[in-house]
Structure 1
Amino acid sequence: MSRLLRAAALLAAAGAFSAQAQQLAVPADTARRLSEVTVYATRLGQAEGQTGRYVTVIPGAVLSRYPVNSIDDLLRLLPNLEIQSRGSFGAQADITLRGSTFNQVLLLLDGMRLNDPLTGHFAAYFPITPAEIEQLEIVRGPGAALYGPDAVGGFINIVTKVFAATHRPDGVQLGGTFLAGEYGLKSTNAGFYGQDQGLRLAGGVLNNTASGQLVGTPDGARNDFKLNTYSLSGAYQVTPKLSAAARASFDRRDYGARFFYTTNPGDQARETTTRDWYQGQLRYEWSAAQRTELQLVGTSSTDYYLYTPASVASDHLVHYLNVQAQHYWTLSPALRLTLGGQADRRAVLSNDRGDHTLWHQGAFAVAAITPLPGLSLTPALRLDHDESYGTELVPQLNASYAPGARLTVRGAVGRGIRAPNFTEQYTSNVRPGTVPAGFNVGNPALAAERTWSYEGGLDYQPGPALTLRGTYFNRNGRNLIDYVNASGAQV
């Protein structure tokens, strides 16, 4: 980053931080004990110390202090999380956990799947802005028993202020930054949250553009980018028992994609993507001990990839529909239960992959059991069916024991699955003419990856601002999906 950009960023960040300090009542010490942090990604709203997992939870008030220009920039600052970026300012990023591939990490927005059916490279195209985040949850290790395929190395859940089942005081929060730098850089990150009695509203704008630096090719190409995300969400308490929430967001990206996917010197690629995201939620509180939630997500996305000006562009249209229902019971102080089901439909229309539609269904159950003081057990079971890989039974068991207020012993064992995406199954399958040397060819007969993971660890908090963790984990997999070199006769 140039000196000019550093100076502009520092000035913008300083202005943003002072504004946030006036509008957000953030305590000086934001550190909390494990028993005080609620993790919603477990589908039970458990205290972190009872999950039996290595979890990182960061409140939105803390995240707002970070001088970042995109959500993947934000994730880059977090521990034990690897971000493999292509381009700048969030143009494209792959996320890995515990040595996984980027396709083995599941991203969630308020418990609903974010991963794109076309390719794992688009998973980090988050349809919200940083100002809308209530808290960020990173759960390391398998989560297929809870959410189905792809949660192998771990899963990340973004809880938003509007959709969260939390109580916030009435008021308005505003924040934003603007910075400019060399190479035509302009960056805007602005958002708001407001609440008045039973109404919540939030939204934001995230824009990053630049003419870019030279990429070192003879034609003088630059890694330019235009990245725009717009989001608006709202919730209303219809009755004392019934609440409704909705979100609409629009993501538009255009960027130089040279050497994103190849090392060929002739690569002159350019890529343009769009994604429209629509999300709805109904929550009904039957009593203090029972709650039902119904969630719906519909997306429409496009990807236009031109390898060279003389080549035929790959043009894809992807539709995704996901419906989920779950019911929470508190049966006793020592037993809580969540039962639910999910169905989704993913479809692609492409001049390279062809036209395909696949259905997926799953039913799950997860319980939080406290048989003895300090001992927590979290068993989960999911029956999953997909037109691509068939039927899978996915069990998991997490356990934790806290002999005192400062020490937690934890362990987990679970099965994971990872479904092939449309690119791995069908890339170049209907491409006109001969597939050029060095290009990838998909395999429609791919089976799902299957893994077993085991882990154990200790968490020790000598003080409220310090947590020491040690974890051992082991993952064994088969049917792992990857590309191999092959002659034309083998394809």
Structure 2
Amino acid sequence: MKKILLTGGLALLWFTAKAQTDTTTQKLDEVLIQENRIQLPFSKQSRNISLVDRQQIETTPGRSLPEVLAFVPGVDIRQRGVTGVQADIGIRGGSFEQTLMLVNGIKLSDPQTGHHMMNIPVPMVNIDRVEVLKGPASRIFGQNAYTGAVNVITSLSDTRSLRLQGYAGDFGMKGISLAGALPAGKYKQNLAISYDDSDGYQYNSDYQVTNLFYEGGIDLNAKNAIRGMVAYADRTFGANGFYASTFPDQWESVQTTLTSLSHTYASGDFSLQTRGYWRRNEDEYRLKRNEPTFYQNFHTSDVFALETNGTVKSKLGTAGFGVEVRKEQIESTNLGNHDRVLSGIFLEQMVTLAEKVDIRGGLYSNYYSEYGWKHFPGAEVGFQATKSIRLYSGIGSSFRIPTYNDLYYVGPTNIGNPDLQPEQALSFEFGGKWNRDNWRGELVYFNRHSENLIEWTRTSSEEPWQPQNFNEVTFNGVEASAYYRVNPSNSVVQLKELMLSYNYIDANFIAQPGVESRYALTALKNQLIGGLLVGFGKKIEWNTKMRYVERVSQDPYFVLDMRVDYNRVGKLGFFAEASNITNTDYVEAGTVQMPGRWFRAGFMVNLD
């Protein structure tokens, strides 16, 4: 690894620092939100959606997607250690099992456990943007999109480019990534590889992460296109306190493979996309790292899926339809061998009235081999009150079936419950968006009423955790956000980007006397996020990010991060980052103590 970094550093001497135009300043309102059927520009959406574009990904102080998403309003990232080597994600007070992760619309849900949801096999350098849909998304993406969905978007380029990045920092941290767009005639293709490792910031917190990514596509003619993807991630890490505070020598190794092939047909007012994909996750877990025979689990889960989605435009508006079949299976030394089949039908319709009102409603009907038919209706209404103000409201139902960990796990600190029932919720939101010149603001109220909520509990610290169904739990919340951005100019000092958001969530979850709750009472309660990106001349950018987080039953904490870039979009650039500048003592997940103040610095080479 040291030789690779040295070679990359010597290669930099061949390039000059010539500034280029920053192409990341595309107007966010024009971005088409990549849902699997009806797709609308960001400005026409009647839902609470956050966009994280290329500029924000590159300038946020963080080396991983979880670190970037930690600054999205309403998103709760709980990291176990640095750079998101193992992280959970929740939206609007939901747990890590209730959020659906996707890559280009492909679902990454794992039947074993939601702890694998953030094993994204895509190097950061290849992510074009991230779309965060808050609230029930089952009608759009199916089950598991219980409290929201996060869609990671990549794009194929018709021009050649090469990007090399490397960094090093505290805790023996270092990493390198190489990504290239290599079109050959009509065939477009991207290839990327990244490697990160660290000695760890405390005992048994070292890690090694490798990502391999390839995607290609070709337009066969004006109506037909084919796109394919192959991605692989290998994560091996010391898991001190990750799942049980009494065992500091835990260790885990996870390999995730994702492949997909899709065909798109578009002609006039009709479009149809057919896609098949396979996702495999291999997980080896040891309670004592150097004594595998003491307690060791092997899990291999596979997901095979085939889906078709389409749209038809007519005088009545736009209709969307879709069909999916999905098989999930697992072979596990602990959970046993299981499989289940899920199939579903999507139908939705959007109409526009008097150019100011749009109504979008639909239904997702899902059949589970274990639970029979379930139906998820939902609808949104939007009203363009003025050119700058849009009001919206929506209602929808969502559903989540237990994972195999929920049902069958047997261990010294956790025991599954085979009698668990699926959890379901009815959600409502009402909000308003304001967009004028370089400013954007949003205020939304939401309510989620859950039934049969799955929560891990125990009666004493000597007893193992076990999931139970709770009858009814209601979440109420408010999100307010303001955002400002301008295109780069020749000003000596320029405010390029400003964002501020506040989230408040009230959950009426009341623990039973003598019963300890594992996740519900650590749900997000208050969240304040701020960001300030300042440019100095043509080449220097200084980004400051802050988070204030308070959970239901935990002490609040404040974290301040910073990053400085020099010539970020030029031929040769450099950056320096500092995390937790405030040296805050805090915990995000379980009992894992997060590190104090730490630093890293690196370079980037951009060639066209």
Q: Which residue of 2 aligns with 1:441?
A: 415
Contact 1:51–1:398 under 8 Å retained in 2: no
Q: Deviations over 1:293-332 (max 9, x none)?
A: 0111112221110002251201111111111111211113
Contact 1:42–1:51 under 8 Å retained in 2: no
Task: Give the number of aligned pairs.
Answer: 448
Q: Which residue of 1 aligns with 2:457?
A: 484
Measured after TM superposition, the shift of residue 133 of structure 1 is: 2.6
Structure 1 residue corresponding to 2:57, chosen from 63, 70, 73:
63
Q: Deviations over 1:159-179 (max 9, x none)?
A: 2203xxxxx6x3123223211
Pairing 1:43–2:37 present: yes
1: CA distance, partners of 2:150 / 2:379: 19
Structure 2 residue corresponding to 1:78, chosen from 58, 72, 75:
72
Q: Return the TM-score normalized by structure 2.
A: 0.70
1: CA distance, partners of 2:341 / 2:119: 23
Q: Which residue of 2 aligns with 1:137?
A: 131
Seen in structure 2, the aligned counterparts of structure 1 residues 203 and 61 have a Cα distance that, compared at 3 Å, is farther
Three-state SS of the structure 1 residue aligned to 2:23 is coil
1: CA distance, partners of 2:381 / 2:389: 14
1: CA distance, partners of 2:83 / 2:350: 40
Measured after TM superposition, the shift of residue 119 of structure 1 is: 0.7
Structure 2 residue corresponding to 1:281, chosen from 244, 258, 262:
262
Q: Deviations over 1:100-150 (max 9, x none)?
A: 111111111111111222111110111212233333211110011122211
Instruction: Give the gaps of 5 or more residues in structure 1.
Output: 1-10, 163-167, 215-220, 429-434
Pairing 1:222–2:204 present: yes
Seen in structure 2, the aligned counterparts of structure 1 residues 19 and 318 have a Cα distance that, compared at 3 Å, is farther
Seen in structure 2, the aligned counterparts of structure 1 residues 467 and 369 have a Cα distance that, compared at 3 Å, is same
Seen in structure 2, the aligned counterparts of structure 1 residues 398 and 207 have a Cα distance that, compared at 3 Å, is same
1:91-490 matches, cutoff 5 A: 91-162=85-156, 170-195=158-183, 197-214=185-202, 221-264=203-246, 266-285=247-266, 287-308=267-288, 309=291, 311-332=294-315, 335-428=317-410, 436=412, 439-461=413-435, 463-485=436-458
Deviates more, 1:71-80 or 1:287-296: 71-80
Q: Return the TM-score normalized by structure 1.
A: 0.86
Three-state SS of the structure 2 residue aligned to 1:73 is helix
Three-state SS of the structure 1 residue aligned to 2:140 is helix
2: CA distance, partners of 1:21 / 1:66: 20
Q: Deviations over 1:168-207 (max 9, x none)?
A: 6x31232232111233211123322344552211121221
Letter in 2 for 1:318: S
Measured after TM superposition, the shift of residue 31 of structure 1 is: 4.3
Contact 2:37–2:321 under 8 Å retained in 1: no
2: CA distance, partners of 1:387 / 1:298: 20
Letter in 2 for 1:99: G
Seen in structure 2, the aligned counterparts of structure 1 residues 91 and 200 have a Cα distance that, compared at 3 Å, is same
Three-state SS of the structure 1 residue aligned to 2:160 is strand
Seen in structure 2, the aligned counterparts of structure 1 residues 42 and 467 have a Cα distance that, compared at 3 Å, is farther
1: CA distance, partners of 2:17 / 2:219: 29
Seen in structure 2, the aligned counterparts of structure 1 residues 367 and 173 have a Cα distance that, compared at 3 Å, is farther
Deviates more, 1:362-371 or 1:67-76: 67-76
Seen in structure 2, the aligned counterparts of structure 1 residues 450 and 401 have a Cα distance that, compared at 3 Å, is same
Seen in structure 2, the aligned counterparts of structure 1 residues 138 and 19 have a Cα distance that, compared at 3 Å, is farther
Three-state SS of the structure 1 residue aligned to 2:421 is coil
Seen in structure 2, the aligned counterparts of structure 1 residues 341 and 19 have a Cα distance that, compared at 3 Å, is farther
Contact 2:204–2:249 under 8 Å retained in 1: no
Contact 1:388–1:447 under 8 Å retained in 2: no
Letter in 2 for 1:450: Q
Deviates more, 1:194-203 or 1:107-116: 194-203
Contact 2:113–2:404 under 8 Å retained in 1: yes
2: CA distance, partners of 1:396 / 1:21: 48
2: CA distance, partners of 1:40 / 1:159: 8
Measured after TM superposition, the shift of residue 63 of structure 1 is: 2.9
Measured after TM superposition, the shift of residue 47 of structure 1 is: 2.2
Measured after TM superposition, the shift of residue 67 of structure 1 is: 4.7
Contact 1:30–1:62 under 8 Å retained in 2: no
Q: Give the aligned CA root-mean-square deviation in angstroms.
A: 2.4
Three-state SS of the structure 1 residue aligned to 2:62 is coil
Letter in 2 for 1:382: Y
Letter in 1 for 2:444: T
Letter in 2 for 1:477: S
Contact 1:131–1:192 under 8 Å retained in 2: no
Measured after TM superposition, the shift of residue 470 of structure 1 is: 0.6
1: CA distance, partners of 2:17 / 2:450: 49
Letter in 2 for 1:281: S
1: CA distance, partners of 2:219 / 2:32: 22
Seen in structure 2, the aligned counterparts of structure 1 residues 40 and 113 have a Cα distance that, compared at 3 Å, is same
Three-state SS of the structure 1 residue aligned to 2:128 is strand
Measured after TM superposition, the shift of residue 372 of structure 1 is: 2.1
Contact 1:41–1:137 under 8 Å retained in 2: no
Contact 2:108–2:279 under 8 Å retained in 1: no
2: CA distance, partners of 1:387 / 1:426: 17
Q: Which residue of 1 aligns with 2:535?
A: none
Contact 1:271–1:305 under 8 Å retained in 2: yes
Measured after TM superposition, the shift of residue 158 of structure 1 is: 1.6
Three-state SS of the structure 2 residue aligned to 1:103 is coil
Q: Deviations over 1:231-265 (max 9, x none)?
A: 0111011232211111111111110012111122x
Seen in structure 2, the aligned counterparts of structure 1 residues 416 and 374 have a Cα distance that, compared at 3 Å, is same
Letter in 1 for 2:223: K
Instruction: Give the gaps of 5 or more residues in structure 2.
Output: 1-8, 468-608
Measured after TM superposition, the shift of residue 49 of structure 1 is: 3.3
Q: Which residue of 2 aligns with 1:218?
A: none
2: CA distance, partners of 1:66 / 1:485: 39
Contact 2:204–2:248 under 8 Å retained in 1: no
Letter in 2 for 1:268: D
